[in-house]
Amino acid sequence: MVHPVIKLVAQRIALGLLLLLAASVLIFVGTQILPGDVAQSILGQSATPETLANLRQELGLNEPALTRYFSWLGGVLHGDLGNALTNGQPIAPALGKRLLNTLFLAACAAVIAVPLAIILGLVSVRYRNRWPDKLISAVTLATISVPEFLLGYIVIFFLAVQYRLLPSLSTVYDGMGFGDRLYAIGLPVIVLVLAVLGHMMRMTRAAILNVMQSAYIETAELKGLRPFAIIARHALPNAVAPVVNVVMINLAYLVVGVVVVEVVFVYPGMGQYLVDHVSKRDVPVVQACGLVFAGVYIGLNLIADLVSILANPRLRHPK
């Protein structure tokens, strides 16, 4: 008989693959309804209809949409993302370099945001309904409510223009030192931390408060344990499943939702790469970027589901 955990894990993985396939269809359909095409972008508004028709034929844009979709999907399954229509260069090497930049930016933000959110959540629970709890909740709610692009311009004004502490443009390049790279991405990291910190903190607080209603917490209190020790040693470990879920969702956002932040700070990551090629109507590049973003988002949510399954003792030890 198949163990319940193995069965659930297999179901989640299969569902993740189906979602990725559905995402590939939506991405392809979305690129097909974009106004204009890459031939018009390359040749400009003064191009003759005959020239446009010849270039579309050369680029394969006249083939039926279904044929182009299965051709693209077949290439993706074989690890070939195709070539950019604007310059004829392979997409995978350029995309890989941009993806590493985006992952580096997201990782730096996560290293700060995740432990800070958990610590603030613990402090908020420890001083529930008192001024530290109210102050933390008010500040994080304010950061959640402000759009990322506005946060970006605010930190640029104060930290780059007024006080000149960090550069306003996050320029990175191959061979750049680790310290210099961290200095260059300081402002976008601050914006990303502010964008996700509030949500993670509030969900951590809610998950721990839910566990605090349990009988074993009351027993620990009756034993005379200190309040913070009860929260950190007894409540937090038992609230790990919902906390991991919200952390993974926000990590997915850090990778997928960086488009606006990368554009504001002109950071050479996946978001900037995607926006540049949307303006050029370079469909293969847009499709590749969209599929990578979808894969990262679905993958991190799948990990969150699997952690939740493994954290459930009733599934790990069935009767």
- Structural domain boundaries in the chain: 1-86+280-319, 91-274
What percent of the chain clears pLDDT 90, i.e. is strictly above it? 36
The whole-chain average pLDDT of the chain stands at: 86
Rounded to the nearest 10 degrees, how much is the dihedral formed by the CA atoms of 305, 311, 315, 319? 180
pLDDT at 51 over 90: no
Place of tokens 């000149």: 164
State the Cα–Cα distance between residues 198 and 139, nearest whole angstrom. Answer: 8
- Work out the number of other CB atoms within 10 angstroms of the CB of residue 308: 18
pLDDT at 36 over 70: no
pLDDT at 160 over 80: yes
Give this prediction's pTM.
0.86
Residue pair 150/234 in contact (Cβ under 8 Å)? The answer is: no
State the Cα–Cα distance between residues 118 and 205, nearest whole angstrom. Answer: 8
Which residues fall within 8 angstroms of residue 126, CB to CB, at 6 or more apart?
132, 227, 228, 231
**Reported confidence tier of residue 162, pLDDT bands at 50, 70, 90:** very high
How does DSSP classify residue 90?
A: B
For the domain with range 91-274, which CATH number is right: 1.10.3720.10, 3.40.605.10, 1.10.10.10, 3.30.590.10? 1.10.3720.10
Which residues fall within 8 angstroms of residue 291, CB to CB, at 6 or more apart?
20, 23, 24, 27, 76
Report which of 225, 64, 272, 262 is spatially closest to residue 148, judged by C-alpha positions. 262
pLDDT at 113: 94
pLDDT at 313 over 70: no
Residue pair 311/244 in contact (Cβ under 8 Å)? The answer is: yes
* Of residues 171 and 224, more confidently modeled: 171
- Cα separation values, 277 from 17, 31, 51, 90, 287, Å: 27, 11, 22, 14, 10
CA angle 59, 63, 66 (to 5 degrees): 125
Residue pair 269/258 in contact (Cβ under 8 Å)? The answer is: yes
**Reported confidence tier of residue 116, pLDDT bands at 50, 70, 90:** very high
How does DSSP classify residue 268?
A: -
Q: What are phi and psi of 184, to 5 degrees?
A: -70, -30
pLDDT at 42 over 80: no
Place of tokens 């499943």: 241
State the Cα–Cα distance between residues 120 and 25, nearest whole angstrom. Answer: 41
b/e sequence 291-305, b meaning 16+ C-beta within 10 Å: bbbbbbbbebbbbbb
Label residue 213 exposed, middle or buried (CB < 10 Å: 0-12, 13-18, 19+).
exposed
Instruction: Look up residue 279 and give its two tokens.
Output: 């303006």
Encode pLDDT of 213-269 as tens digits.
878 888 887 788 888 788 888 787 777 777 888 888 888 888 887 888 999 999 999
